[in-house]
Structure 1
Amino acid sequence: MREPRTVALLLAVSLLGGACAGTRGAPVPPEASAPLVYRSEAVGAPRPEALLVALHFSGSTPAFWDEHVQSLGLPVRTLLPQGPRPRRDGFTWFQADHEAKTQQGKTEDVERMAERLAELIREVRAAHPELRRVVVTGFSYGGDLAWMLALRHPELVDAAVPMGTRLLGDPAGALPASHRVWVLQGEHDAIIPVQHTRERVADLKGRGVPIDLRTYPDLGHDLSPALLEDWRTFLRQSLRGPVD
């Protein structure tokens, strides 16, 4: 059962705590400081104890996740943010030059947006103290952000299921052993070579990151029924939390 009214809020979330003297006079793109729009609602129970943060792909909207959240069949509070920049029939998370940047430039873009999303998670958790677990997921750019949230904010995120992600950034410290990251990707992804993902996951595992990879034959940079079934399985496990 959904709450009678969807919470749709505009939040002005500044980047890394706002402007600083070192950046004074530098041009700030509108989407870097514009309010982030998001929806947050309880599904299946009035006060769920788990929060699912779902991040849409470029050119999509938060509504993409509605049917998938319902298919979980679990009580959960959702946090469905919207990318700040219009693209095609939806929205995207980064400026138009994001793909032209170096690996470091892309990583910095994702880190900045992940900071803004972390602020949204803190806002929702403060408003709903009954929340005990936070799980993040996303596809493509949304997957990049879901991974970055798990990597940079282990104090906020208990588990992550990023899909079609480049796994940008490196861990600054150890992630708790209780955390889990499941990466899902098509084996014929023309945007992110699956061999790169395999090597990246192996390297991260070697450094103690609790991460695993599942790939799907004949699938490109897309979702499939088999992938979505695994997505539901991993999310149900994560949202329920460890069995005492």
Structure 2
Amino acid sequence: MSTQGDARPEALLVALHSSGGTPAFWREYVQDWGAPVRVLLPQGPLPRREGYTWFHPDHEQKAAAGKLADLEQMGARVADLIRGVRRTHPELRRVAVTGFSYGGDLAWWLAIRYPDLVDFAVPMGSRLLGDTSQPLPATSHVRVLHGEADAIIDARQTSARVEALKAQGLPIDMMSYPGLGHDVSPALIEDWRAFLRQALSGQAVPPVASGAR
């Protein structure tokens, strides 16, 4: 875990890498954050390609119930990490979780299953798996970022999911990026950073009209 700015920041950013990635993916994006923040970059427990992953290789072959069980198990482990940081640093008042691909799936899961630990979530290139049993607290906000040309996770399905969740009363919106595949881009990172800086600084975050940037 690293600290940007003040030695006792009141905000924690948890960033979860994609399958086959490493925590180093986030370093250039969290450097020079411009505001006091603690940064936690967990590493997936399983080796994959040149990096690590969060789930066993059969994850994609499982039915919905199996995928959700995997999310529940790994989400509980990440939640324990966050809980430990909050115990060690009781001054923390705001926590945001973000992630890309499998990391995005986990970021979303943490927001809906652990609202006592997570105040904001930014899933990217993710599927938003699982049903919500109750609305998120009014102070929470989920912003979904997704490439419109994503050939792995269809942006149209993600958009439909966002609209359905919004209709349930969840504080969620989506920004999509024309021409962007299953990846990040300078424009996406700019929006990602702007949202998280605002949210973690304690400022009110206005919703956006879901759609292309």
TM superposition shift of 1:242? 3.1
Aligned to 2:173: 212
Question: Given the alignment, which residue of 47, 52, 68 partners 1:91?
Answer: 52
Aligned to 1:61: 22
TM superposition shift of 1:172? 1.4
CA distance in 2, matches of 1:62, 1:144: 16
SS of 1:134's partner is: strand
Question: What one-letter code is carried by the residue in structure 1 that aligns with 2:19?
Answer: S
Aligned to 1:166: 127
TM superposition shift of 1:72? 2.6
Report the more deviating stretch, 85-94 or 72-81.
72-81
Question: What one-letter code is carried by the residue in structure 2 that aligns with 1:177?
Answer: A
CA distance in 2, matches of 1:115, 1:77: 21
SS of 2:31's partner is: helix
Aligned to 1:230: 191
CA distance in 1, matches of 2:68, 2:187: 30
CA distance in 2, matches of 1:135, 1:177: 15
Per the normalisation by structure 1, the TM-score is 0.82
Correspondence 1:198 to 2:182: no
Correspondence 1:178 to 2:139: yes
TM superposition shift of 1:112? 1.3
CA distance in 1, matches of 2:54, 2:145: 20
Question: Given the alignment, which residue of 71, 74, 78 partners 1:110?
Answer: 71
Q: How does 1:21-40 map to 2 (within 5 A)?
A: 40=1
Question: What one-letter code is carried by the residue in structure 1 that aligns with 2:116?
Answer: E
CA distance in 2, matches of 1:172, 1:202: 17
The answer as to whether partners of 2:4 and 2:33 remain within 8 angstroms in 1 is no
Q: Which runs of 5+ in 2 are unaligned?
A: 205-213
CA distance in 2, matches of 1:145, 1:242: 25
Return the index of the structure with the highest Cα Rg. Answer: 1
TM superposition shift of 1:196? 0.5
Correspondence 1:187 to 2:148: yes
The one-character-per-residue Cα deviations of 1:126-156 (angstroms, maximum 9, x if unpaired) are 0111111100000000000000000111111
Aligned to 1:46: 7
Correspondence 1:126 to 2:87: yes
Q: Which runs of 5+ in 1 are unaligned?
A: 1-39
The one-character-per-residue Cα deviations of 1:29-79 (angstroms, maximum 9, x if unpaired) are xxxxxxxxxxx1211121111000000011111111111111432211011
The count of corresponding residues between Structure 1 and Structure 2 is 204
SS of 1:97's partner is: helix
Per the normalisation by structure 2, the TM-score is 0.93
SS of 2:15's partner is: strand
TM superposition shift of 1:229? 0.5
Aligned to 2:207: none
SS of 2:80's partner is: helix
Question: What one-letter code is carried by the residue in structure 2 that aligns with 1:161?
Answer: V
Aligned to 1:72: 33
Correspondence 1:149 to 2:110: yes
